[in-house]
Structure 1
Amino acid sequence: MLLFLALGLLVHLVFFVSIFDIYFTSPLVHGMTPQFTPLPPPAKRLVLFVADGLRADSLFALDEAGNSRAPFLRNVIIHEGSWGVSHTRVPTESRPGHVALIAGFYEDVSAVAKGWKENPVEFDSLFNESKYTWSWGSPDILPMFAKGAGGNHVYTHSYDAEREDFGAHDAAKLDTWVFENVKDFFQSARGNQSLFSKVNEDKIVFFLHLLGIDTNGHAHRPSSREYKDNIKKVDDGVKEIVSLFNQFYGNDGKTAFVFTSDHGMTEWGSHGAGHPSETLTPLVAWGAGIKYPQKASAQQFDDGFSKEWRLGNWKRQDVNQADIAPLMASLIGVPFPLNSVGTLPVDYLNSTDLFRAESMFTNAVQILEQFKVKMTQRKEATLPFLFTPFKPLSDSQQLDILRKARSFIKQEKFAEAISLCVELIGLALKGLTYYHTYDRFFLGVTVAVGFVGWTSYVLLLIIKSHSSLTRGTCEDGKKPGRLLPCSFAAVGVFMVFFLLIQACPWTYYLYCLLPVPIWYAVLRESQVIQDLVASLVTFPLSRLAGCLSVFALGIEVLVLSLFYRYMLTAGLIAFAGWPFLTQLWTRAKVASLSWIFFSLLLAVFPLMPVVGREPDISLVAVAGLLVLLLALVPVISANKRESTLLKQERLIHLLQMLSTVLSVHVVRSTHSSLLRKQGLPLPNQIVSWATLASSLAVPLLSSTALLQRLSSILLSLMSTYLLLSTGYEALFPVVLSCLMFTWIHMEQETMQQCGVSCKQKLASLQFSYNTDIDQLRQLCLDDIRRAFFLVFFLVVAFFGTGNIASINSFDLASVYCFLTVFSPFMMGALMIWKILIPFVLVMCAFEAVQLTTQLSSKSLFLIVLVISDIMALHFFFLVKDYGSWLDIGTSISHYVIVMSMTIFLVLLNGLAQLLTTTKLQLYGKPKTHLT
């Protein structure tokens, strides 16, 4: 079993990693020639303000009194510069947002997971191309633009990470720190000749990263007074900095200012997905080289809210976020970032038509350079007879368009030249996508073949080892000949040579070679396949069709539940009718009524809102009280059996109950302290981490009696879960656990109904690694139902209180009992553990079901694996690379979620066995329980 688990884990890890090679590879290429406009730029210096987490509507909209929250920037829009909305891409996180703004390309998602301060890949940026860049702000953002910059010309000034505290009294101090340090910098420059000469050079950049708005949004929501007041403070700070620059440089008119944001924020204080509140960010530009406000009579923007901004009289010019990088580069005359895919928004430029046309021509050549390098790399890595070039942009077409554009510029037909360059940029970007996804179909087919092979192998293994469908001739019959292994060996050798010739990455060998041994193992079981076909022929056709239809319907419900959470409600309501479809209603009315009640109660949770809810600590307290009541069940059960609990176990049980009470107190205390803006109390933090650290160890000290061990696991994990809860979701594991306890009772009744003798009562069953082989039995159709129940409950555990397909359904307030200082990976790990706790509870209940139904854990686990893999295969074919970025991201995330669930299933199956069967002794010798 351990060998099979290891093999299954390896196979699923390969399938899981494949999605990153297929969809999440870095778009960067190297070896391009820098391109810049050969004309004097309009600005000598650029000041970039990035208000982290600022929504477009929060800046542009008027308050209840009809006044602007940012009067200075609104005045700029009306009297001094140009404005619009910058459209970001998914994921709407700080790192990819800043990379798009400053480097001009959309970073792949894997870079977000690999690091923030360190770069997984080196990339060119506006800062690198500048003569000097000075930056102030967050230690999470600034270093990634300094690392790898050629020469010592990018200077960073960041505050300590501890300042990024969501529980701080006033997060706006982060922005105040930036503004004050910029003032101090220029004050010192006046008395430092070396620094003074540097800040008076051409082609320099000043970057002010303002994190206060994002921090206040996470802590208090964008509708809060703190968030809105922070916008006003940022506006005041920007006004002061603009005045400072004008004074320092003597109003020379050579400073360009750009104000924007990396991403927006939802109403519930999160970001990461594709909601308009996250993807629509403000852009305001003014100063040297920027057009003055342009009157507009009737602008139509179908966004449903811009009318409320009352800016319809001034021309709004929307851009993609990556377009801002070439705009800034053209303003100060530096080469466009080498990997930029942005299109220069020429309507922002207040310059001659010649400069605009030349800048757009430079933009086109710069993107075309990337296309050429990408095409060359792909051509060199592909066999000549297999290479298919991007036909819409051949070498002759490239030269023809460039020649025409240059001719138009010479003839002073600047509008025609710009239009032709925009057309060339569009073709080059399509070509970049074409070559970037060149291997996608090949890899997809390879992984799908391996996936189907693995699922087929597991099915055959179930039939061979755990059913009575075969005649047992697989092992006793004649051995397979040499033709089959030789044929597969030849296929493997061919694949190796094919990949070697094309210099493919080593991961390609995994994806292409893994199906070979898998399908060899499948075809070796030809006798099992023959027996299966023979058995199905004799099986009643109507019953077979009915079973397959029900199974297919169940799979589709599971698949649809990832798109529509209410499908889980429909499934749970259907589950409630299970006792009526069997004779359970007559045999066990109490258990049946409990099953119906808890199924319907659990069905309410998928209908509840996953986001936008306000904290309700009273519900957390109610959940804690219910957990304490459940903890009394094993004690009452033990008393009824006139059994005595060991002193150690009584002590452990009491301490777990006290831990639950303490967790509720910590949650209430922390919430109250944060409301008073007094931060996270240190004792609360210590208790929280201690509870988390002990949550998996304490249950191992309790009795291995089924009810007592499950109760101990629930108590221990719920203490942690309560600390990670802010509202009604704290009740979810309680209701889920009640349903799991009922499920265990129902399955034992089902076995008695089927005529299988249960030697022991439920209260006297013991978890143990050493299962009596005589108790194990062959699989039956009812076991498929049990396996389906498990997968369904696992999906409910994932999606019962949230939609983990969307990053923005996570509420950072959930981790405030543990930490409030921003730490993306630590906070993410705590969120994941919160998601996994219901998962662990279901898996432990599944261990009990296997014990009560006298079925080997391997056989039932294999059926679960097949169901999960069929779901994963569904989502693998549903992954798409077209449509909106939200659609693409959602389709990929569904596959990742199901694959993660399958991998976690393999790992947590072992964890559940450990939690249910392992017994630790603090002192003395283990004693035998009286049963």
Structure 2
Amino acid sequence: MSSKTDGAHPIRTSWLHSTRSLMVISFLFHLLYTYSVCDIYFTSPVVHPIRRFTLNDTYIIAPSSLAEYEKAGGVLELAMVPVLSFKHPSAPMPLQDGRPLIFEKGEEVEAELQEGLEALNYGQGKKNESSLWHDHDSSSQTTLSELGAEGKQEQKALEMEEVQMGGFMGLERYRQWKSPADRLVLIVGDGLRADTLFKKHPWHMLPAWAQQDLLRQSNNGEAGDFNLQYNSALSPFKNDTAIAFGDANSETLKTLQGTLHPAAPFLHHVAINRGPFGVSHTRVPTESRPGHVALIAGMYEDVSAVTKGWKLNPVQFDSVFNQSTQTWAFGSPDILPMFAKGVAKERVWMETYSEDEEDFTKDATNLDLWVLGHLEELFSHAQADKQLKERLHQPGTIFFLHLLGLDTTGHTYRPHSTEYVGNTIVVDAIAARVEALFDEFYDHDNRTAYVFTADHGMSTKGNHGDGDPDNTRTPLIAWGSGVARPTKLDAADKQRQMRKADAEQDAYYSHWVVGDVKRNDVDQADVASLIASLIGAPFPGNLEGHLPLPYLNVSDEHIVRALLANTLQVLEVYRTKHEARSKRMINYIPFESLDKDEEDDLPGEQLVHEAKYLVAIGDLHEAVERIDELFRLALEGNRYLQTYDWLLLCTIITLGYLGSILYGISFLLQRYFLSPEHPTLALYRPQGSGSDPSVLSLGKLICVPIFGALCAKFTAEGSPLTYYVYAVFPALFWTRVIDERAVFVAAWRASRNPTTSTQAVPGPAENKEGGATVGGLLAYIICSLALLELIVVGYLNRVAWTIGFLVLGTVWPIVGITKPMRQEHPKTILAWMAVCFLNGMFTVNSLDKEESIQVLIITGMAFLMGGMYVLSNANALLGCGTSAEGLQRTVRTIQIELGVLCAATIVTTVSAYSLQSKRGLPLASQVGGWLVLAFCLTFPFAYGLRVDKKSGNHQPPVQRIAITIFAFAPLFILLSIRDEALFFGSFALLLAAWTRIEGLLYAERAGTSGGSRGPRLLAKEDVRIALFFLFFLHVAFFGTGNIASISSFYLSPVYRLVPVFSPFLMAALLILKIMVPFLILCSAFQVLCVSPQANKAQKSKAVEAKAQDTTGDFVQIAGLGLADASPLVLSACIATDVLALNFLYAVRDTGSWLEIGQTITHFAMANLLQVFMLGLTALSAAFIGSLEQV
């Protein structure tokens, strides 16, 4: 390096104030704070309530207490219980030891009972219309519909009379309730969209074998919406080859081609004639594991569950399988084991196929047929095995059929494909066959209930995971024993009108065949409540679902008591969390609406007594309202406890981000903007302040006690370890900010007085830039905030990025580039405008894409032509600052990379054609693809980026970045579905033009006079460069996908390498592809930062002579002359902290799951982009080299 340049060197302080240490701290800070959104909004430890509630627990005296009382010689057939207090029917019951009083049989009790009975006969000759002797036989059951306004008013009058008469004792009859069904069959079509099941489809969407079945039945006069049978659906080998349908002008064929056809005729018939249907709304993440947990356990795993495991999550939970007599499960090895873990083998019996069967290149319907085949085998064995047959006939049995085919087919071919519709036809045929098997095996006893649903939907791109409505809307159909009949809608029904409007406004609801039947939508966790109620099992311990009443066909009292038991289980979850928190919290504030009235009461006890009383007196309408209120309060209480630490954590996190911003600004100001000899710094900085741990500075005096108090609080309350980590960063940052407060005073004075800043930038222009007016600084800040706001809008609408490119391509060259430079470099300016418009086209294009082999081939040819152009002009484009030997090595490396590019294009073409034609993935193509991938990640960097033996230096940065671009081009071809590789090339051209312009601009600002290559301080214009870098960082993501939607990146190209389901490997390949533009951006940015001014570009004499023979001159490598890219990267990080802080308070935990999922993703990506930025900057520095190596 050169000698010093007039005090230009930055301030040297402690390790904590070194650039490398700050980048490490920033990396850890943003990585850990990404998780904070889970602790603030979603994470609540999964509790394990001991009690499980059934209908028996809905009586004022639980049957367990009656049994003990009966043994003691009390009343046998009737339970004497208090039903009123001396105040009001809703007042708390008399309690003893926290339980309702049980009176012994004797004269005093009989006298009180007689008095109470006489009090009820409040009119002469009037019938006692509310006898204490409630006969719950079905013959005398009053239905909810029969209990009208008049009866309700009369009941209220009676209650008021009872209040006037004073307290009395009552009796409530207890009865045993028979379960609505002896057994239940749960069929889950993994990844099935609701619209695909419920709608009719055009002729061309049906697979060839289905078209053959339709044509055959039409010719035989058998075709119809509900008597239609796709006879080939259950065949393991289907003929997908289109056949000649005879006379193309036949009326039958024309009719079929002109009409819509159901993909699920059996389930359509069920939904219209036999059982209720609806849309089951899931929550995020829309993955198989949380979806099945919601369906079977009735609980929603929070979004942080994704970080704790993929399949066998360590979080324990209860499920309806645990509460059933026994469960027989068939299906995927990814789902079934997690419900059998920790459960007795005799309780859950499962059979799964091999993971190797989950091959995306094969017909996935065979996975579903495997499940049907093994169910048939089970029943076949049971006919010969008496013991097995007896087990299968036990009441309370669940059969779980997990059909994975639709999920696999959707990933491979996407939902709007003939393959996906064909798989839906197969699933429908399986459902029909399953019912026939059960009817046959159980001799048509009509004691089987069926529930058909899905764990999640499927986006149009063939992915799922986020809150896209296509992923959160799933079908639900129930029928069989204990299930209600569907309700027909008349023409004036409000729901009919609403659904007609939905169908007109949203194509998702168009052509549904169930328009004349009432739709009963539910939340996904409600299904677990429905399952438990139908088989009469206790509700799962971690229940969050609400019993869907329209799906049950039992007596009204049965329904209300089931609803009450469901609510009591949800309330028990709150009580368990309440008890745990109240024991460990220092100043615990309970949920006000469920707070105790008495010290010995349980939370919500009064509301429970009111609900039980209303059920006991037969006021079922009022009981349902009271129970629904209790359910709502229980959920709100759970949410209250889940977000109990919201204020504390948000305060800590906010202080962390503000401290990070101020600490970063302070660091940049004193290390890269201000001279160490600045008089203000010398005046305000105490000796040893902030640097010496032994010095008790003001920052330590303020922050250390606060941090210690927080740690003491966390320890006393048993808070998670992450709470301590969150508190560390604000303490660290604010200690430094307070101790370095003089830096901000110095910066303000320097901005007003340029002579005190002593910025070491060559040339007079940069020095005289200081002393900006307040208005000028304010305008600069406003423009910077406007760019940040544009980035925020870009998270919601990709068009914002196109607008940004239009501004950069048209406005910036006029207002940001001087007229002399525009006149001197017109071609460079035109190239910049062209690449801005080109990249803007990618961000405005739709994300819905179809695979195009032709586009991939054209892209490969474009990269090949670009590489040949670079090689043909290697001396001019790559020869600056290198020896002839070094240039030759770079040329050979690029030549080999171009050869691999051709091989990658061929391999991709063969693999794509083979997968499209359903012939599977050829082994040679798969091996070739992995070899290409291994080459891209190893050879160019092991061979191409080597140190020159003579000089001991690396190649010039431009050579290294050229090697990096052509190294990853084959990888992008291999993992692209359509135009992603074209975007990669376009993005590389954008970066080349940008670095060229920025280098020329800096050379113009610094002047053309000679000078040193030493490190310089930063100027105001460098902040604008950092913001441009941040903009391009986001464009690297949004160019072919959408941060707000995880599923916007296509997974299907990964099947060219991994045809068998392997989530971690597939995700790794997808992330690798997404990260490549980041690496190229950071590498180009490193080149821009470390390259010297254009007039100082070093030229090798040997190469110079050769270059002048061919091109006449070198293409100059213009740069900013910095030691590395760290200061500008840190500036971008500071700007991104503003985004993260904004997104933190925009996170929603209520509303649609699309909105919730987007807000979570926005905050996470605002942090993770900084993690990627810092990590890839370090990696690109290794690739490109530093200033000393050039």
**TM superposition score normalised by structure 2:** 0.73
Q: Which residue of 2 aligns with 1:482?
A: 696
Q: Which amino acid aligns with 1:616?
A: S
Q: Which residue of 2 aligns with 1:392?
A: 593
Q: Does the residue aligned with 1:567 lie in a helix, a strand or coil? A: helix
Q: Does the residue aligned with 1:48 lie in a helix, a strand or coil? A: strand
Change (3 A) 1:747 1:632: farther
Distance 1:85 1:579 in 2: 53
Q: Does 1:120 align with 2:284?
A: no
Q: Does the residue aligned with 1:53 lie in a helix, a strand or coil? A: coil
Q: CA deviation at 1:634?
A: 4.3
User: Do the aligned partners of 1:336 and 1:366 also contact (CA within 8 Å) in 2?
Assistant: yes
Q: Deviations over 1:542-571 (max 9, x none)?
A: 211111111111211122211121111111
Distance 1:78 1:544 in 2: 69
Q: Which residue of 2 aligns with 1:925?
A: none
Which of 959, 964, 972 does residue 708 from structure 1 map onto? 959
User: Do the aligned partners of 1:673 and 1:681 also contact (CA within 8 Å) in 2?
Assistant: yes
Aligned counterparts, 1:55-66, within 5 A: 55-64=193-202, 65-66=259-260
Distance 1:23 1:721 in 2: 37
Q: Which residue of 1 aligns with 2:1102?
A: none
User: Do the aligned partners of 2:1015 and 2:1123 also contact (CA within 8 Å) in 1?
Assistant: yes
User: Do the aligned partners of 1:463 and 1:470 also contact (CA within 8 Å) in 2?
Assistant: no
Which of 419, 423, 437 does residue 244 from structure 1 map onto? 437
User: Do the aligned partners of 1:52 and 1:262 also contact (CA within 8 Å) in 2?
Assistant: yes
Q: Deviations over 1:872-894 (max 9, x none)?
A: 22222322333322212211111
Gaps of 5+ in 2: 1-18, 57-176, 203-258, 598-602, 690-694, 754-770, 946-954, 1091-1118
Q: CA deviation at 1:778?
A: 1.3
Distance 1:758 1:199 in 2: 92
Which of 655, 669, 674 does residue 468 from structure 1 map onto? 674
Q: CA deviation at 1:848?
A: 0.6
Q: Does 1:4 align with 2:4?
A: no
Q: CA deviation at 1:845?
A: 0.3
Q: Which amino acid aligns with 2:1143?
A: F
Distance 1:237 1:547 in 2: 66
Which of 975, 999, 1010 does residue 748 from structure 1 map onto? 999
Which of 513, 518, 526 does residue 323 from structure 1 map onto? 526
Q: Does 1:436 align with 2:675?
A: no
Q: Which amino acid aligns with 1:294?
A: T
Q: Does 1:673 align with 2:914?
A: yes
Q: Does the residue aligned with 1:112 lie in a helix, a strand or coil? A: helix
The 4+ residue runs of structure 1 with deviation greater than 6 A are none
Q: Does 1:33 align with 2:45?
A: no
Q: Does the residue aligned with 2:479 lie in a helix, a strand or coil? A: strand
Distance 1:306 1:560 in 2: 29
Distance 1:698 1:296 in 2: 68
Q: Which residue of 2 aligns with 1:770?
A: none
Which of 282, 289, 298 does residue 88 from structure 1 map onto? 282
Change (3 A) 1:463 1:160: same
Q: Does the residue aligned with 2:1018 lie in a helix, a strand or coil? A: coil
Q: Does 1:723 align with 2:741?
A: no
Q: Does the residue aligned with 2:467 lie in a helix, a strand or coil? A: coil
Q: Which residue of 1 aligns with 2:802?
A: 569
Q: Which amino acid aligns with 1:126?
A: V
**TM superposition score normalised by structure 1:** 0.93
Q: Does 1:279 align with 2:476?
A: no
Q: Does the residue aligned with 1:259 lie in a helix, a strand or coil? A: strand
Q: Which residue of 2 aligns with 1:402?
A: 608
Q: Does 1:698 align with 2:892?
A: no
Q: Which residue of 2 aligns with 1:333?
A: 536
Q: Which residue of 1 aligns with 2:1026?
A: 787
Q: Which residue of 1 aligns with 2:825?
A: 588
Q: Does 1:904 align with 2:1172?
A: yes
Q: Does the residue aligned with 2:315 lie in a helix, a strand or coil? A: coil
Q: Which residue of 1 aligns with 2:777?
A: 544
Q: CA deviation at 1:399?
A: 2.6
Q: CA deviation at 1:451?
A: 1.1
Of the structure 1 ranges 789-798 and 581-590, higher mean CA displacement relative to structure 2 is found in 581-590
User: Do the aligned partners of 1:88 and 1:97 also contact (CA within 8 Å) in 2?
Assistant: yes
Q: CA deviation at 1:78?
A: 3.0
Q: Which amino acid aligns with 2:775?
A: S
Q: Deviations over 1:240-268 (max 9, x none)?
A: 11111111111112111111111222333
Change (3 A) 1:26 1:158: farther
Change (3 A) 1:288 1:759: farther
Q: CA deviation at 1:134?
A: 1.0
Q: Does 1:845 align with 2:1084?
A: yes
Q: Which amino acid aligns with 2:1145?
A: F
Aligned counterparts, 1:345-494, within 5 A: 345-384=548-587, 387-396=588-597, 398-468=604-674, 471-472=677-678, 474=681, 478-479=686-687, 480=689, 482=696, 484=698, 485-494=700-709
User: Do the aligned partners of 2:41 and 2:642 also contact (CA within 8 Å) in 1?
Assistant: no
Q: Which residue of 2 aligns with 1:75?
A: 269
Aligned counterparts, 1:629-644, within 5 A: 629-640=865-876, 643=884
Distance 1:653 1:420 in 2: 75
Q: CA deviation at 1:475?
A: 6.9
Larger Rg computed on CA atoms: 2
User: Do the aligned partners of 2:27 and 2:1174 also contact (CA within 8 Å) in 1?
Assistant: yes
Distance 2:870 2:884 in 1: 11
User: Do the aligned partners of 1:470 and 1:531 also contact (CA within 8 Å) in 2?
Assistant: no
Q: Which residue of 2 aligns with 1:614?
A: 850
Q: Does the residue aligned with 1:880 lie in a helix, a strand or coil? A: coil
Change (3 A) 1:14 1:217: closer
Q: CA deviation at 1:312?
A: 3.2
Of the structure 1 ranges 361-370 and 525-534, higher mean CA displacement relative to structure 2 is found in 525-534
User: Do the aligned partners of 1:179 and 1:237 also contact (CA within 8 Å) in 2?
Assistant: yes
Q: Does the residue aligned with 2:278 lie in a helix, a strand or coil? A: strand
User: Do the aligned partners of 2:897 and 2:940 also contact (CA within 8 Å) in 1?
Assistant: no
User: Do the aligned partners of 2:977 and 2:1052 also contact (CA within 8 Å) in 1?
Assistant: yes
Q: Does 1:139 align with 2:380?
A: no
Q: Which residue of 1 aligns with 2:404?
A: 211
Alignment root-mean-square deviation, CA: 2.3
Q: Which residue of 2 aligns with 1:510?
A: 725
Change (3 A) 1:630 1:313: closer
Q: Which amino acid aligns with 1:414?
A: L
Q: Which amino acid aligns with 1:81?
A: G
Q: CA deviation at 1:511?
A: 1.2
Distance 1:166 1:110 in 2: 28
User: Do the aligned partners of 2:802 and 2:843 also contact (CA within 8 Å) in 1?
Assistant: yes
Q: Which residue of 2 aligns with 1:862?
A: 1130
Change (3 A) 1:75 1:775: same
User: Do the aligned partners of 2:1147 and 2:1156 also contact (CA within 8 Å) in 1?
Assistant: yes
Q: CA deviation at 1:273?
A: 2.8
Q: Deviations over 1:876-924 (max 9, x none)?
A: 23223333222122111111011001011111011101222399xxxxx
Q: Does 1:496 align with 2:711?
A: yes
Q: CA deviation at 1:828?
A: 1.6
Of the structure 1 ranges 152-161 and 302-311, higher mean CA displacement relative to structure 2 is found in 302-311
User: Do the aligned partners of 2:805 and 2:840 also contact (CA within 8 Å) in 1?
Assistant: yes
Q: Deviations over 1:326-370 (max 9, x none)?
A: 111011111101111111112211112221121111111111111
User: Do the aligned partners of 2:329 and 2:401 also contact (CA within 8 Å) in 1?
Assistant: yes
Distance 1:276 1:441 in 2: 31
Distance 2:283 2:704 in 1: 45
Q: Which amino acid aligns with 1:750?
A: L
Higher normalized helix content (fraction of residues): 1
Q: Does the residue aligned with 2:1071 lie in a helix, a strand or coil? A: helix
